[in-house]
Amino acid sequence: MARDAARLEETLATLRRLLEIAHRMGLADRDALGWVADPSGYFGGKTGLDYLGDPEKLLDVAEQAWGVEW
C-alpha cells in the first residue's frame, strides 16, 4: 500500500511539473492534458501517459513539442 501511495505521489508530481511547463509555454491545462493522453509521433505513436514512469523523458518531450514555433 505504501508503494502505491508513493507511485501516486510521483505521478501527481510529474503532472504538476507538466502543467508548470504548459503554463510557461502559454498552454491551457486542458490542452496539455489532452496532449499527454493522445498518441504522438514524439513518443513513436504512444501517449505521454505511457511515459509517466519516465518523467524526465515525458517532460523533455513536452518542452520540445510545446516549444516548436511554426
Identify the band that residue 1 occupies on the pLDDT scale cut at 50, 70 and 90. confident
- pTM of the complete model: 0.87
SS3 sequence of the chain: CHHHHHHHHHHHHHHHHHHHHHHHCCCCHHHHHHHHHCECHHHCCCEHHHHCCCHHHHHHHHHHHHHCCC
Q: Please check whether residue 19 is in contact with residue 29, taking contact to mean a CB–CB distance below 8 angstroms.
A: yes
User: Quick one: pLDDT at residue 70?
Assistant: 65
For the chain, the structural domain boundaries read 2-67
The pLDDT of 23-41, averaged and rounded, is 96
10-28 pLDDT tens trace: 999 999 999 999 999 999 9
Q: Please check whether residue 42 is in contact with residue 59, taking contact to mean a CB–CB distance below 8 angstroms.
A: no
